[in-house]
Homo-oligomer: A and B are copies of this chain.
Amino acid sequence: MFNTLFLPELREMLAGENRAELEEFCVTLNAGRTAEFMEGLEDMEIWQVLQFAEPERRAEIFGYFPEDRQVAMLGLQKAAEVAELVEEIPADDRVDLLQELSDHRVDEILPLLPVEDRRDIQRLQSYAEGTAGALMTTEVAMLAENLTAREALEELGRQASELETIYYLYVVDENKLLRGIVSTRQLISSLARPSRTLGEMMESDLVVAHVADDQESVAENVEKFNLLAIPVVDSGRQLLGIITHDDVIDVVREELAEDAQRIAAVAPLEEEFLRIGLLTLSWKRGIWLTILFFAALLTAFALRHYELELERYAWLVWFIPLIISAGGNSGSQSATLVITAMTSGQVKFRDWPTVMKREVVVSLMLGGFLATIGLAVAVTIAPTPFAALVIPLTLISVIVCGCLCGGALPIVFKRIGLDPAMMSNPFVAGIIDILGIVIYINIARAILG
C-alpha cells in the first residue's frame, strides 16, 4: 500500500545523519510526492526527516500526511519544533489540527507562537463548526484601491509566500471594508497599461459569504459562480478571510456522504467513522432504527388482524417477506433517485408531475416483469393456478405503490422544508410494509373468496 522505494535509503541517511542528502530529498520532488515516499516511516522518523527541510517547505510536506498522523506528530514531538511548524501551516488547517490536540498540549504550544498567529488562531476557533468562519483562512491579499497594476504585482510578489492563494486580490479601504476584487488574470492582462489602478479594474458586484453562513450554501455559490475562492465578510462587510476551492471539494464530499448516510437512515455522523464514540454512533443509528421498528411493529398487528385468512390459506404466509421486500426495494430505488437528482439540481418542485408520470410507467414495467416471475413460482406452490394469481396481482400493486411513494415523498418533504434524504426512506419503508400487507390480504380475499 505504501511506497517503500526509498525507505531503506531514508533510514540509512537518518542513521548516518547525512545532512546534504536529506536536505536534497526534501526539495527534489514535489511536496506531495515527498510525503508519499515517507508514508512507510515511523512518525518519529518522518519528523526527523522534516527537520532537514526549510520551515515553509516542511509545512507543505507535512500537510500531505493523513490527519491522524499529523495529529500524532504534533502531539508527541518537542513543543518548540512543533510551534515552529505550526507557524507555517495555513491558518484554516492549523486551527483544525489544534482542535484535535489535548488542551494541555495546546497550552504548551500557543505561547511559543508569535502574538499575531496566536490571535489569529483564537479568532478562527471562535466560529461554529460548519460555518463559513470555521472554513476560511485569514491569509489573504488585501490591497488599497489606489495601487497601480504594477505596484500590486510587486506587492503580491512580496506577500506570495504567506498567502493561501494569490489569484484574487481583495481591494479594501482603511477599515478593511471589502470594496472589490481584481483577479491576477486581470492584473496580468492589463500589464500593457501598468498605471491603471486597482480601483479602476476591480469588479465591485461581488459574490461573498457571510461569516455565519452555512458551509453548504457557501460551497454552492463557489460552484455556481466557478470561483477559485470566495471572500468571507462580517455583517459590516469587513473582510475577514477567504474560502478556497480545495476546501469546497471537502464540503461537497462531506455533504454527499451525509446524504448517503441519511438515505440509509443514519443521522449524519459529523465525525470520522472510526473515531466517533460508540455510544454516539449507536444513538445516531438507534433513533432511526427505533422509528423504523415501530413502523414495522404495525405489521405485526396488521397480520394478527388477518389471523383467520392466514390460518385458512397458510401458503399465503410464505410470500409475505417477498412482497414486502419487492415493494420496499423499488420504493427505496425511487426515493434515492429523486433525492440524488434534487441534490444535484436536476429535479425541482415544479417537475413533480413529470416525476410521477415517469414513475408510473417505470413501475408498471418493473412490476409487470417481477409479477411474471412471481406467477411462475406461485403456480407451483398455490393449491390452484387461479389462486396463484394473488401473487402477481399483489406484486404489481405493491411495486407501483412503492415507486409512487418513493418518488413523491422526497419532493413533498423538501417542499415543506424537511430534509428529503433524512425522511424519505424510513417513511417509504414504513408505509410500504403496512400497505403491502393490506393490499395482499385484500387481493387474496377478492380472489380466494
Q: Do the beta carbons of B333 and A373 come within 8 Å of each other?
A: no
Q: Is A137 an interface residue (CB 8 A)?
A: no
Q: Is A429 an interface residue (CB 8 A)?
A: yes
Q: Is A80 an interface residue (CB 8 A)?
A: no
Q: List 8 other contacts, CB 8 Å, given A64-B225, A257-B343.
A: A156-B188, A157-B190, A274-B346, A278-B361, A285-B330, A296-B325, A300-B322, A307-B314
User: What are 21 A-B contacts defined by CB distance under 8 Å?
Assistant: A1-B350, A153-B191, A157-B188, A157-B191, A228-B228, A249-B252, A252-B252, A264-B337, A265-B333, A266-B336, A269-B337, A273-B347, A278-B362, A282-B362, A282-B365, A285-B333, A289-B329, A290-B369, A301-B318, A303-B321, A320-B321
A97-123 Cβ-contact flags toward B at 8 Å (1 or 0):
000000000000000000000000000
Given known contacts A191-B154, A272-B346, A205 and B256 CB-to-CB distance under 8 angstroms: no
Q: Is A261 an interface residue (CB 8 A)?
A: yes
Given known contacts A166-B184, A225-B30, A282-B362, A266 and B337 CB-to-CB distance under 8 angstroms: yes
Q: Do the beta carbons of A257 and B185 come within 8 Å of each other?
A: no
Contacts of A400 on B, CB cut-off 8 Å?
none
The 8 Å CB contact of A351, one of B274, B288, B304, B345, is B274
| A258 nearest in chain B by CB position | B340
A283-310 Cβ-contact flags toward B at 8 Å (1 or 0):
0011011101110110111011001001
Given known contacts A205-B30, A278-B358, A315-B304, A265 and B166 CB-to-CB distance under 8 angstroms: no
A323-365 Cβ-contact flags toward B at 8 Å (1 or 0):
0111011101101111111011111101100110010011001
Contacts of A64 on B, CB cut-off 8 Å?
224-225
| A300 nearest in chain B by CB position | B318
Nearest 3 Cβ contacts at the A-B interface: A264-B336, A273-B341, A256-B256
| A429 nearest in chain B by CB position | B325
Q: Do the beta carbons of B290 and A329 come within 8 Å of each other?
A: no
Q: Do the beta carbons of A260 and B256 come within 8 Å of each other?
A: yes
Interface residues on A, range: 35 or more
Q: Is A235 an interface residue (CB 8 A)?
A: no
Q: Is A281 an interface residue (CB 8 A)?
A: yes
How many copies are assembled?
2
Give complex CA distance A322, B297 in Å. Answer: 6
Contacts of A339 on B, CB cut-off 8 Å?
260
A contacts, CB < 8 Å to B? 1, 28-30, 32-33, 64, 66, 153-154, 156-157, 160-161, 166-167, 184-185, 188-192, 203, 205-207, 223-226, 228, 245-246, 248-249, 252-253, 256-257, 259-261, 263-266, 269, 272-274, 278-279, 281-282, 285-286, 288-290, 292-294, 296-297, 299-301, 303-304, 307, 310-311, 314-315, 317-322, 324-326, 328-330, 332-333, 335-341, 343-348, 350-351, 354-355, 358, 361-362, 365-366, 369-370, 373-374, 377, 381, 429, 433, 437
Give complex CA distance A154, B361 in Å. Answer: 60
Given known contacts A166-B185, A273-B341, A341-B273, A321 and B324 CB-to-CB distance under 8 angstroms: yes
| A250 nearest in chain B by CB position | B223
Contacts of A281 on B, CB cut-off 8 Å?
358, 362
The 8 Å CB contact of A265, one of B28, B191, B329, B365, is B329
Q: Do the beta carbons of B293 and A370 come within 8 Å of each other?
A: yes
Question: Nearest-CB distance from A116 to chain B (Å)?
Answer: 22
| A34 nearest in chain B by CB position | B205
Given known contacts A329-B265, A332-B264, A333-B289, A249 and B248 CB-to-CB distance under 8 angstroms: yes
Contacts of A355 on B, CB cut-off 8 Å?
274
Contacts of A264 on B, CB cut-off 8 Å?
263, 332-333, 335-337
Contacts of A246 on B, CB cut-off 8 Å?
223, 226, 245
Contacts of A252 on B, CB cut-off 8 Å?
249, 252-253, 256
Contacts of A225 on B, CB cut-off 8 Å?
30, 32, 64
Q: Do the beta carbons of B257 and A344 come within 8 Å of each other?
A: yes
Contacts of A347 on B, CB cut-off 8 Å?
273-274
